[in-house]
Amino acid sequence: MERRQLEYFLAVVEHGGFTNASRVLHVAQPSLSHAIATLEAELGGALFHRLPHGAILTPAGQALVAPARQVARDLVTAAASVREVLGLSGGRLDIVAQTTLAVDPLAGMVGAFLDRHSKVEVRVTDPEQGARVEHLVRTGQCELGLVDATVRVGDLDGVVLAEQDLQLVLPPGHELTHTPGLPELATLRFVVTPHGTATRDILDETLRQVGIDPVISVETVHRAMIVPLVLAGAGASLLPRSMASDAAAKGARVLPTEPALRYRGRLVWRSGPLSPAAASFVELARTGYAGPIDEPNGPDRKPV
């Protein structure tokens, strides 16, 4: 059963016969008659009594009228829904993002996007392992992905975003009040996420420059614990700027570092056409959040 057949059936019902229906539909009457005959063959019975001056419904035809009208309404609704999505007045955008990048810069990007397209639903997925970001985008499970810019992403298209600063977050009243260098960072005890996450890798690589490993007081996969642990005096932490600002509002001491510790993300997608929502988000990234150079894929580094 095809949409065209149901449209022709309803036209014959509404206009009282095949001749009038063909005129309204701008369809040759033999084509209309053939479509109805095919529908009748599929359903196993006549839908109309053909009369010299028109057509009237058989009991089978009467039974089809209400379902056919419901299907027609559903198709109109479906078409309207698609038009809303294409016009960015509806629909959903799926993004998979490594955790640190989801905090900064993705949260701000999503806010700016929704300011323009408030009816689009945005779903952000945090993968169990950062390496799955590329897989989820490549297989089409998420349309966009946000990965550490140093991670190789094969033939995925992408744009490198501007650098983001990490801030040193200390317990309230900590004795350190000035911008610390590497030797001073080496004396601190840290609240950290596990090996393989971006902030942990940056801390390890930074202190490796002075030949030591960081002193770990707490390692946790629960990122929501980090600020409460720092506030409770469990240790220091390196956090994205927005998380550091939240911690400062709760009494933590927040300082920059010397040298500055930074990270940057890459927004990626499969080559080929994007949905209107994804295309608009990519344009937002290019015009408002891209770094000075859209760098090629960098060397491998474990993702967030």
Quick one: 271 and 248 in the same domain? no
Contacts of 13 (CB under 8 A, 6+ apart): 57, 61, 65
DSSP 8-state assignment for residue 8: H
* 185 burial via Cβ count (<10 Å: 0-12, 13-18, 19+): buried
Last residue of a domain, one of 60, 86, 112: 86
- Domain containing 56 equals 3-86
pLDDT of residue 195: 85
Q: Is the pLDDT of residue 42 over 60?
A: yes
Would residue 241 count as lying in a domain?
A: yes
Mind listing the pLDDT tens digit for each residue in 138-154?
888 899 999 988 888 88
Mean pLDDT over residues 249-253, rounded? 97
Quick one: 274 and 141 in the same domain? yes
Quick one: 81 and 197 in the same domain? no
Would residue 108 count as lying in a domain?
A: yes
Mean pLDDT over residues 185-194, rounded? 94
Cα–Cα distance for residue pair 54/181, rounded to 1 Å: 93
pLDDT of residue 301: 37
Cα–Cα distance for residue pair 144/109, rounded to 1 Å: 13
| CATH value at residue 180 | 3.40.190.290
Tally of domains in the chain: 3
Residues above pLDDT 70, as percent of the chain: 95
| CATH value at residue 143 | 3.40.190.10
Cα–Cα distance for residue pair 262/206, rounded to 1 Å: 11
pLDDT of residue 130: 64
Quick one: 281 and 213 in the same domain? no
Quick one: 22 and 132 in the same domain? no
Quick one: 158 and 270 in the same domain? yes
Cα–Cα distance for residue pair 290/298, rounded to 1 Å: 16
Mind listing the pLDDT tens digit for each residue in 6-22?
999 999 999 999 999 99
Quick one: 180 and 251 in the same domain? yes
pLDDT of residue 81: 73
pLDDT of residue 128: 61
Q: Is the pLDDT of residue 33 over 90?
A: yes
Determine the 3-state secondary structure of 184 from DSSP: helix
Would residue 8 count as lying in a domain?
A: yes
Q: Is the pLDDT of residue 198 over 90?
A: no
Rounded to 5°, the CA angle 51-54-58 comes to 65
Would residue 198 count as lying in a domain?
A: yes
pLDDT of residue 293: 58
Mind listing the pLDDT tens digit for each residue in 263-298?
999 999 998 888 889 999 999 999 999 987 544 444
pLDDT of residue 296: 45
The pLDDT confidence band at residue 78, using thresholds 50, 70 and 90, is confident
Would residue 296 count as lying in a domain?
A: no
Would residue 249 count as lying in a domain?
A: yes
| Amino acid occupying residue 254 | V
pLDDT of residue 109: 97
pTM: 0.70
pLDDT of residue 216: 97
pLDDT of residue 273: 86
SS3 per-residue string spanning 236-250: EEEEEHHHHHHHHHC
Quick one: 170 and 233 in the same domain? yes
Quick one: 270 and 157 in the same domain? yes
Would residue 298 count as lying in a domain?
A: no
Q: What integer best gives the mean pLDDT of the chain?
A: 89
Quick one: 240 and 281 in the same domain? no
Would residue 295 count as lying in a domain?
A: no
Q: Is the pLDDT of residue 303 over 80?
A: no
Segments in 171-296 forming alpha helices (H): 182-185, 198-208, 226-231, 241-249, 276-288
Q: Is the pLDDT of residue 302 over 50?
A: no
Quick one: 231 and 116 in the same domain? no
Mind listing the pLDDT tens digit for each residue in 94-131?
999 988 899 999 999 999 999 999 999 999 998 866 67
Quick one: 211 and 178 in the same domain? yes
Q: What is the DSSP string of 15-83?
A: HTSHHHHHHHHT--HHHHHHHHHHHHHHHTS-SEEEETTEEEE-HHHHHHHHHHHHHHHHHHHHHHHHH
Cα–Cα distance for residue pair 19/6, rounded to 1 Å: 17
